[in-house]
């Protein structure tokens, strides 16, 4: 977990915010890596947050994970050491061309990133400086060919110097940076 190394001690108390939590997979994976962390997962879908809460219970992480349905601009108190998001990033016009196991399984709201696929990132760029703790880590999943545009949006909001991480197919898939 070199990407997420925050301190020499993985047992340090941390706070984690997962925006667009869906099933809670990202938040729950982070909580399993950081045993003294607590986290909040937010998703627009009540069904998704119920699934995430059930997953937390099944994994024995329910006492450290809270999930709430709503938009990203409400219900967030304080600042977080890690802010993670795998937001909707598929351009609207591309959704019908997705593989059936994606377009027919995932809710449209979890896929549709607007005309250019970047609507959620623009919202995150406005929000991230307000919720990241000093030196906090921001980690974002990106769609194919979106890394430069995402980075440009965040640079305008005062966050920059992103590190880009490639997936096994060589696609720049994750962007990370730290708050000043």
Domains along the chain with CATH numbers? 12-178 (3.40.50.150)
pTM over 0.85: yes
Q: Tell how far CA 2 is from the center of its chain.
A: 17
What is the rounded radius of gyration, in angstroms, for the C-alpha atoms of the chain? Answer: 16
Tokens of residue 139, six digits: 């980690």
Give the CA distances from residue 101 to residues 58, 88, 126, in Å, rounded to whole numbers and listed in that order.
25, 16, 32
Give per-residue pLDDT as tens, 32-56: 999 999 999 999 999 999 999 999 9
What is the tens place of the pLDDT at every residue in 63-116?
A: 999 999 999 888 898 999 999 999 987 778 888 888 887 777 777 788 877 889
Tokens (6 digits) for 37: 């962390």
User: What does the DSSP 8-state code read for residue 64?
Assistant: T
């Amino acid at each position: 977990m070199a990407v997420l190394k925050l301190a020499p001690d993985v047992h340090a108390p941390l706070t984690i915010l997962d925006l667009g939590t869906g099933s809670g997979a990202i938040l729950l994976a982070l909580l399993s890596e950081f045993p003294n962390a607590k986290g909040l997962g937010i998703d627009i879908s009540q069904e998704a947050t119920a699934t995430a809460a059930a997953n937390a219970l099944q994994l024995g992480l329910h006492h450290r994970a809270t999930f709430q349905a709503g938009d990203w601009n409400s219900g967030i108190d304080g600042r977080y050491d890690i802010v993670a998001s795998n937001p909707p990033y598929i351009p609207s016009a591309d959704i019908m061309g997705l593989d059936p196991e994606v377009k027919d399984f995932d809710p449209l709201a979890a896929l549709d990133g607007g005309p250019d696929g970047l609507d959620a990132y623009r919202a995150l760029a406005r929000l991230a400086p307000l919720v990241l703790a000093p030196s906090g880590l921001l980690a974002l999943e990106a769609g194919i060919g979106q890394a430069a545009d995402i980075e440009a949006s965040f640079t305008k909001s005062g966050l920059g110097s992103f590190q880009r991480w490639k997936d096994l197919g060589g696609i720049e898939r994750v962007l990370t940076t730290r708050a000043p």
